[in-house]
Amino acid sequence: MSVLLRGMRSDDVQAVAAIEAVSFAAPWSTDLFLQDLRTEGRFWFVAEGDGEVLGYAGAWVLGDEAHILNIAVRDGDQGRGVGRQLFEMARAAVAEAGAERITLEVRASNVTAIALYESFGLRGVGFRRGYYAETGEDALIMWGDAGRLRAPDEMLMLAIESSCDETAVAVIRGGHELLADVIASQVDFHARFGGVVPEIASRKHTEAIVEVVDEAMRRAGEALGREEPLGFGDLDALAVTHGPGLVGALVVGVSYAKGLALATGLPLVGVNHLEGHIFANVLADPEVAPPLVALIVSGGHTSLVHMSEWGVYRTMGETLDDAAGEAFDKVAKVLGLGYPGGPILSEMAAEGNRDAIDFPRAMLHSGDFAFSLSGLKTAVINHIRHEREAGREIDIPDLAASFQAAVIDVQVAKAVRAVKETGVRVFCLGGGVAANPALREALCEALRPLAVHVSVPPLHYCTDNAAMIAAAGFQRFLRGERLGLDAEAMPGLRLDTA
Ligand code: KG4
Ligand code: ZN
């Protein structure tokens, strides 16, 4: 059903009053509506769908100030953005009529409406105690600068990612346009240990975060053609990765974001790190939209996920033990090739023969979407030991190619099955291992005959970054989702409940 917005007419008043009667404890009568429609400085709009009134909004302009009276949407038509469109219509009309400020009162418990107004840049400035006489409930008074209210595609969000070993901050405008994308990698500090050391990760995040935020604000200012860095007052919202990941690492980003939200009054949104990896595709490819299947392969995860609509996920299967990236890292460590192992091994694999050594393809025929990589890792390590003990030189490119092929064969087979079973027309890859050229190619090749749109993220968005967190967070922000200031880092956060 398409929604039409237009000025309210007297023949709408009956339907409007009916919605009013179920939405407010002290509703206006049809007479009051009719009278107000005839009064100067009053603005009334309705949203119409299938010839019926779905909702309405009203505003008064008094001098340079506008007061939003009420916005209501019919039961059953809520949650589809009708309220947002009505507010935007009223806002544009009062700004046009010369209003500089907008005020309104909203039930203090109506978090959905408050989030909607916040997303237009309004801020809570105080309470009217016991304003709603029938229930004694408080009204939150909200205030915003009518001229400065931004449409969603003008809004600026700062996003923070600190779930593993990258301290990353991005500033995004309108969900798609990146103004800054700064990453401070700690990889050199972990390399000598052959893997991420959690204690080092948290300490390095603490050391880096203030500087990385400052740098992102500076670059965002530059991108907007300003001489000064962006100020926190220029922002409309904040997002942060609140799980899954290393708890001590997540805590740094989450605490910083909560502090910033408290100090600035900006709304804060929590993002699931794995959702971020899916949104690395959304950022780069406008065709990526649900329903879709995503394969997320990183140093910490190997999951096949079905996204039926924006924000709704079902994990179809995941690894029972090691993650794919972890297997790459461990094999590289045994070979003494350095850390992270994925990029080094995949480069070597390009020179080798994938059929040289027959490594196991665990769970290839398990009939489900689960993965297991620890057996493969052990088989590779045993092979290396065996060859060394026998005094034979190991052909590293052949070994790398054979190991990589064993990983890829299972991933591709399960991805194809997941696409067939769900019937989706879009598939995307995400996570650090998505940078692996052989995996990207094998997936594209296997899915092409199924006429599925395959999206692989640009290389710089494969590993951890805050741009992808910003893209995912912005969507959640517009949906009115918020993280409270009592929120905690959630190392085991599941995508299915995100
Ligand atoms: O997503 P990410 O940056 O961090 C986690 O959330 O884990 O992924 C890092 C992982 C590392 O294990 C790294 O070895 C792997 O991604 N990786 C690769 C490649 N590039 C990075 N694995 C295989 N082939 C690559 N080309
Ligand atoms: Zn990651």
The pLDDT tens digits for 30-68 are 999 999 999 999 999 999 998 899 999 999 999 889 999
Q: Does ligand 1 lie within 6 Å of residue 276's CB atom?
A: no
- Encoded tokens for 378: 């052990």
- CB burial of 424-463 (b: ≥16 within 10 Å; e: otherwise) equals bebbbbbbbbbbbebbbebbbebbeeeebebbbbeeebbb
Q: Is the CB of 432 under 6 A from ligand 1?
A: yes
The atom of ligand 1 lying closest to the CA of 437 is 26
Residue 168 Cβ contacting ligand 1 at under 6 Å: no
The mean of the pLDDT values for the chain is 92
Ligand having the closest approach to the CA of 332: 1
pLDDT tens digits for range 204-242? 899 999 999 999 999 999 999 999 999 998 999 999 999
Distance linking the first and last C-alpha atoms of the chain = 29
Beta-carbon neighbours within 5 Å of ion ligand 2: 298, 464
Q: Is the pLDDT of residue 245 over 90?
A: yes
Distance CA 452, CA 105 (A): 49
Closest C-alpha to ligand 1, atom 23: 342
**158 within 8 A of 170, measured Cβ to Cβ:** yes
**What average pLDDT does this structure show over 179-194?**
86
- Measured by CA distance, the residue closest to atom 1 of ligand 1 is 432
CB 444 within 8 A of CB 148: no
Q: Residue 160 C-alpha to ligand 2 middle, in angstroms?
A: 13
Q: Does ligand 1 have an atom closer than 6 angstroms to the CB of 431?
A: yes
pTM: 0.79
As a whole number, mean pLDDT of residues 112-137 equals: 87
Tell me the per-residue pLDDT of 393-405, one tens digit each, with 9 for 90 and over: 999 999 999 999 9
Q: What is the pLDDT of residues 366-411, one digit of tens each?
A: 999 999 999 999 999 999 999 999 999 999 999 999 999 999 999 9
Pocket-testing residue among 433, 443, 461, 462, ligand 1, by greatest number of atoms within 8 A of Cβ: 433
197-200 long-range contacts, CB within 8 A, separation 24+: 198/246, 198/247, 198/248, 198/249, 199/248
> What DSSP character marks residue 46?
E
Return the ligand number nearest the Cα of 190. Answer: 1
Q: Determine if ligand 1 sits within 6 Å of the CB of residue 461.
A: no
Residue 299, ligand 1, Cβ within 6 A: yes
**Angle, to 10 degrees, between the axis of helix 82-96 and the axis of helix 111-119?**
50
Separation CA 299–CA 249 (nearest Å): 15
55-64, 191-200, 240-249: segment of lowest average pLDDT: 191-200
Which whole number is the average pLDDT over 152-172? 94
Q: What is the DSSP letter of 358?
A: -
Kindly give the distance from the C-alpha atom of residue 367 to the centroid of ligand 1, in angstroms, as a whole number: 27
- Order of strands, sheet of 42-49, starting from the edge strand that comes earlier in the sequence: 4-7, 42-49, 52-62, 65-73, 101-107, 137-145, 123-132
Per-residue confidence (pLDDT) for residue 70, from 0 to 100: 84
Distances (CA, A) of 476 to 71, 173, 406, 495: 22, 14, 37, 14
Cβ of residue 422 lying under 6 Å from some atom of ligand 1:
no
